[in-house]
Structure 1
């Protein structure tokens, strides 16, 4: 059960990384592409100002580059999950300094909704 929770969290983190790009393979995308996708998604969903957009893009690029070896690495799944979670936690801490309290609450809600959707899909696959 603990592994399932960690896997669900990891999936949620990755979903933020590849939002609305179904055809693109995560392992083959560049950190710059992933950062641009994340920034565009956040800009749209949170109505970021141009100043916020610039800062968020810098944050996304920084952590997409840090996440790249994890995504492309050959380590064990659990080790990758732990590294990805740690990276995502640092990124979210930086988001909190850029977003307004309302924007951060909306971001948390969006993240929670995506997590719920992923759980439902995983359950559907398991039962289907």
Structure 2
């Protein structure tokens, strides 16, 4: 019986480490995306969520590509980069996006954006509780 319990505990430990590695690998893959890959992924998500027209999809892709390149350059600056600069970049992108989307699409975009921010804040709050 002890051997069975030991084997089960060993199996569960290995499984937990394996799952943690998979999550880490997925996050790492996201960080290593090129600006083009990021723009394509963002545009596809927006296409699904907002049902963009072909012209809108092309304009949104160009905007996402420009934004991804700016973000990559800003991250390369490293220590000089701060939250305020990232926030300004996002606000500028949103302002340009308003010229591309219809009123209904913009409303839906803002709703989705708020939901994602809330989920992110919840995850960050959970991390703080677990660390303490």
Q: Segments of 4+ in structure 1 off by > 4 A?
A: none
Which of 51, 74, 82 is the aligned partner of 2:78? 74
Give 1 or 2: higher helix fraction: 2
Once the two structures are TM-superposed, the CA of residue 72 in structure 1 deviates from its matched residue by 3.0
User: Aligned pairs, how many?
Assistant: 105
State the secondary structure of the residue aligned to 2:105.
helix
Q: Which of the pair has the greater relative contact order for Cα pairs under 8 Å at 6+ separation? A: 1
- Please list, as runs of the form range in 1=range in 2, the aligned pairs for 1:1-128 lying within 5 A after superposition: 22=27, 24-26=29-31, 28-76=32-80, 79-128=81-130
Normalising by structure 1, we get a TM-score of 0.75
Cα RMSD (Å) of the superposition? 1.6
- Structure 2 unaligned residues grouped into runs of 5+: 1-25
Whether the aligned pair in 2 keeps the contact of 1:70 and 1:80 (CA below 8 Å) is no
Normalising by structure 2, we get a TM-score of 0.73
Whether the aligned pair in 2 keeps the contact of 1:39 and 1:53 (CA below 8 Å) is yes
Once the two structures are TM-superposed, the CA of residue 80 in structure 1 deviates from its matched residue by 2.6
C-alpha offsets along residues 17-73 of structure 1, whole Å, 9 cap, x if unaligned? Answer: xxxx745242x2211111111111111110101110001001111111111112233
